[in-house]
């Protein structure tokens, strides 16, 4: 290296040193630097970003709604910054997450499928150890399945495309994906949940992108299903033309032990009410033909009728999966058919000893009779009832209940909500926890948390729990906790308000209208660290007080309103209202150590 190169290198190094010395410390702190702690710094007055930088911190966001900044600070800097007189308080910027859950479509709810895998009416969580159709193989002969859909991917196991003659039965229409979601949309805390959310789905594509296909491909799909040991074949399709070959294929599959379910058709009554409009293959004796009903348990106007109708199920405005991670609402007996298919999966899981004929009879016997008494041409034996059909009386010899939950605590509390968390017992056969709020059963969960919403501020709530194992044994030992919601701070900030009832000390709910800008004839602002006197004011005063408690880093700002009785026509009401607010003021001052007060004198009559 020659002298010139050495000289240039020396200049570069010196420049780098000077540059590093001139940069503020905050430049070395990335906004997402994990060596720093993410906090929210609340100031007593205006936010000061330079103050954060002097403590080797970085400002991520400066708020306008509140006097605060989101920042990243070293741990030791937080302790020192808390002592700064300009800081009201500092809190950790903790992570929050969505509290999403599966949507329970009305059809799944109507046939009581959730009672099988959850045990609670309206439940959306598959409880461990309960029947969700796990391991039951179902082939859906249709337009294919979007096997990448997040609600279907967990249960998709394979299939074949007879339209394009390959092993990629991707749905290019949407109909098959919609039917698949009704049958077995997975429990994954998003999207929807199906009738049998743990059943195995196989896509057999026999219909093209327009929803049309040849009988030959349907027959090939039935054959594929038999050869691949499918338990149930679901066919939401129909034709007014009979086919001897299709009839024989269905009969052979049924004799092989497969249960076949199909839509009854969308031909309505036809020319007259007694006309048989059920389409093929639902019209065959070896196939269960399913009619459609609406939310009022009435036959859908489009639903075909005839003596071959065996069962009815929801088929009007059914919300289900659709290609491209989407969802869609569709109507038709095509939507009713999968409800029966999913129910059959639940029953076969509950009764593995059944053959397909016994399973079929079980569906008949437990259906909810609709229309004329007994079997009829519109509803068949009635609406399928998964809750009844899949019910099994416990015959387990295990009589030992599981352990109780542990470490139950309120992880966070607000004025209208409480979030409880706990640890589940370690029993291998633990099933779920029964939850009770103030003594009332509210549902079952296998999770380790419960979030109660819509609560009343400043009110105590008790959560109680029992645990249940997979055999149904209940541990009736109560594990509970009582927590009080936070008190809501209500600001009475004007000269017009009303209240129907006033507690002895707490601030009442107030309705009001803002005062006009010219309401104040004089203004005085001052700050004091002394306790104010507790004499009741006799003049009109609009008092805004800000208090801070150094012991628990709690900050409170409330507006207190005063009115001289002589300036109001409702003397008794105003005086009582003001007295209660005054008592609240006294209580707050006793609890807080520092007050910064602003007073405004109102014009007479305001």
Query: Cis ω on the peptide bond leading into residue 281 (within 30° of 0)?
Result: yes
Residue 336 in contact with residue 320, Cβ under 8 Å? no
More confident residue, 126 or 307: 307
Q: Residue 56: name the closest of 44, 71, 73 by CA.
A: 73
Residue 456 in contact with residue 478, Cβ under 8 Å? no
Of 63-67, 154-158, 204-208, 313-317, which gets the smallest average pLDDT?
63-67
**Residue 362 burial (10 A CB sphere; 0-12, 13-18, 19+):** buried
Confidence class for position 94, pLDDT limits 50, 70, 90: low
Q: How far is CA 353 from CA 84, 253, 505, in A?
A: 74, 19, 67
pLDDT beyond 80 at 266: yes
- pLDDT, mean of residues 221-236: 95
Model pLDDT, residue 506: 31
Confidence class for position 232, pLDDT limits 50, 70, 90: very high
Q: Cα separation of 336 and 313, whole Å? A: 5
Q: How far is CA 167 from CA 160, 164, 544, in A?
A: 4, 9, 74
More confident residue, 108 or 14: 108
Of 2-16, 97-111, 254-268, which gets the smallest average pLDDT?
2-16
Q: Mind spelling out the 3-state secondary structure of 394-411?
A: CCCCCCCCCCCCEEEEEE
Q: Cα separation of 354 and 257, whole Å? A: 10
Model pLDDT, residue 446: 82
Model pLDDT, residue 228: 96
Q: What is the pLDDT of residues 97-149, one digit of tens each?
A: 434 456 789 999 999 999 899 887 788 888 877 899 999 999 999 999 999 99
Mean pLDDT of the chain: 77
Model pLDDT, residue 397: 62
Q: What is the pLDDT of residues 453-509, one digit of tens each?
A: 888 888 999 999 999 887 778 898 999 999 999 887 543 333 333 322 222 323 233
- pLDDT, mean of residues 84-109: 74
Exposure on the CB side of residue 369, measured as CA atoms within 13 A? 6
**3-state helix, strand and coil shares in percent for the chain, rounded to the nearest 5:** 25, 30, 45
Q: One of 236, 334, 404, 495 is an active-site residue; which one?
A: 334
Of 232-236, 323-327, 342-346, 389-393, which gets the smallest average pLDDT?
389-393
Q: What is the pLDDT of residues 357-401, one digit of tens each?
A: 999 999 999 999 999 999 999 999 999 999 999 986 544 567 888
- pLDDT, mean of residues 47-69: 86
- pLDDT, mean of residues 158-174: 95
**Residue 342 burial (10 A CB sphere; 0-12, 13-18, 19+):** buried
Residue 257 in contact with residue 232, Cβ under 8 Å? no
- pLDDT, mean of residues 185-194: 92
pLDDT beyond 80 at 280: yes
Helix (H) or strand (E) holding 571: helix 571-591
**What are the structural domains, with CATH classification, of the chain?**
3-92 (3.30.70.80), 106-389 (3.40.50.200), 406-484 (2.60.40.10), 497-602 (no CATH)
Residues ≥6 apart with Cβ < 8 Å to 453: 416, 417
DSSP string, 32-62: T-TTSEEEEEEESSS--HHHHHHTT-EEEEE
Model pLDDT, residue 502: 26
pLDDT beyond 50 at 17: no
Q: Is residue 217 flagged as an active site residue?
A: no
Q: Is residue 142 flagged as an active site residue?
A: yes
Considering the chain, what percentage of its residues have pLDDT values greater than 70? Answer: 72
Confidence class for position 535, pLDDT limits 50, 70, 90: very low
Confidence class for position 261, pLDDT limits 50, 70, 90: very high
Q: One of 36, 175, 178, 466 is an active-site residue; which one?
A: 175
pLDDT beyond 60 at 525: no
Q: Is residue 334 flagged as an active site residue?
A: yes
Model pLDDT, residue 460: 93
Model pLDDT, residue 434: 87
- pLDDT, mean of residues 429-451: 86
Q: One of 48, 102, 131, 142 is an active-site residue; which one?
A: 142
Residue 187 in contact with residue 125, Cβ under 8 Å? yes
Confidence class for position 332, pLDDT limits 50, 70, 90: very high
Model pLDDT, residue 448: 87
**Token pair in block for residue 6:** 């050495």
Confidence class for position 584, pLDDT limits 50, 70, 90: low
């Amino acid at each position: 290296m020659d002298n010139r190169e050495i000289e240039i290198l020396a200049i570069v190094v010196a420049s780098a040193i000077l540059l590093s010395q001139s940069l503020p410390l905050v430049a070395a702190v990335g906004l997402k630097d994990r060596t720093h702690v993410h906090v929210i710094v609340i100031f007593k007055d205006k936010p000061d970003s330079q103050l954060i930088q002097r403590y080797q911190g970085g400002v991520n966001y400066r708020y306008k709604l509140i006097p605060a900044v989101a920042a990243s600070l070293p741990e030791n800097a937080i302790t020192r910054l808390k002592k700064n007189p300009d800081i009201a308080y500092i809190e950790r910027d903790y992570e929050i997450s969505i509290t999403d859950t599966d949507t329970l479509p009305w059809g799944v709810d109507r046939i009581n499928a959730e009672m099988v895998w959850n045990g609670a009416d309206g439940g959306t969580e598959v409880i461990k150890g309960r029947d969700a159709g796990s391991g039951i193989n179902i082939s859906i002969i249709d337009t294919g399945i979007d096997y990448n859909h997040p609600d279907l991917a967990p249960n998709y196991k394979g299939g074949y495309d007879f339209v394009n003659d390959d092993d990629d039965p991707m749905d290019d229409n949407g109909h098959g994906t919609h039917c698949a979601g009704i049958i077995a949309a997975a429990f994954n805390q998003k999207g929807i949940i199906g009738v049998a959310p743990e059943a195995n789905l196989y896509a057999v594509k026999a219909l093209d992108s327009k929803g049309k296909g040849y009988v030959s491909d349907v027959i090939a799909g039935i054959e594929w299903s038999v050869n691949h040991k499918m338990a149930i074949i679901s066919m939401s399709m129909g034709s007014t033309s009979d086919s001897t070959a299709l009839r024989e294929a269905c009969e052979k599959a049924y004799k092989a032990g497969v249960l076949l379910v199909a839509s009854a058709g969308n031909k309505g009554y036809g020319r007259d009410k007694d006309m048989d409009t059920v389409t093929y293959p639902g019209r065959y004796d070896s196939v269960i033909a399913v009619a459609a009903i609406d939310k009022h348990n009435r036959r859908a106007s489009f639903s075909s009728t005839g003596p071959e109708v065996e069962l009815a199920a929801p088929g009007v405005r059914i919300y289900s999966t659709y290609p491209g991670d989407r969802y869609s609402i569709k109507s038709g007996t095509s939507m009713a058919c999968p409800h029966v298919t999913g129910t059959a999966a639940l029953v076969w899981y509950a009764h593995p000893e059944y053959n397909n004929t016994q399973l079929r009879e079980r569906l008949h016997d437990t259906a909810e009779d609709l229309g004329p008494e007994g079997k009829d041409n519109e509803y068949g034996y009635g609406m399928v009832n998964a809750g009844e059909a899949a019910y099994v009386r416990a015959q387990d010899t295990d009589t030992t209940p599981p352990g109780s939950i542990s470490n139950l605590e309120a992880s966070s509390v607000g004025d209208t909500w409480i979030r409880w968390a706990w640890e589940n017992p370690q029993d291998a056969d633990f099933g779920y926890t029964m939850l009770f709020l103030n003594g009332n059963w509210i549902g079952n969960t296998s999770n380790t948390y419960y979030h109660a919403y819509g609560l009343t501020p400043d009110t105590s709530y008790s959560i109680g729990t029992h645990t249940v194992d997979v055999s149904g044994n209940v541990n009736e030992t109560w594990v509970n906790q009582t927590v009080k919601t936070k008190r809501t701070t209500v600001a009475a900030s004007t000269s017009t308000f009303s209240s129907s009832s006033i507690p002895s000390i707490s601030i009442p709910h107030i309705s009001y209208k803002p005062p006009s800008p010219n309401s104040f004839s004089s203004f005085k602002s001052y700050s004091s660290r002394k306790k104010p006197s507790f004499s009741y004011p006799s003049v009109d005063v609009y008092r805004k007080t800000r208090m801070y408690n150094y012991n628990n880093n709690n900050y409170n700002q409330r507006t207190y309103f005063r009115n001289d009785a002589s300036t109001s026509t409702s003397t008794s009401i105003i005086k009582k209202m003001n007295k209660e607010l005054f008592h609240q003021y006294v209580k707050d001052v006793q609890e807080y150590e520092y007050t910064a007060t602003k007073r405004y004198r109102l014009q007479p009559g305001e």
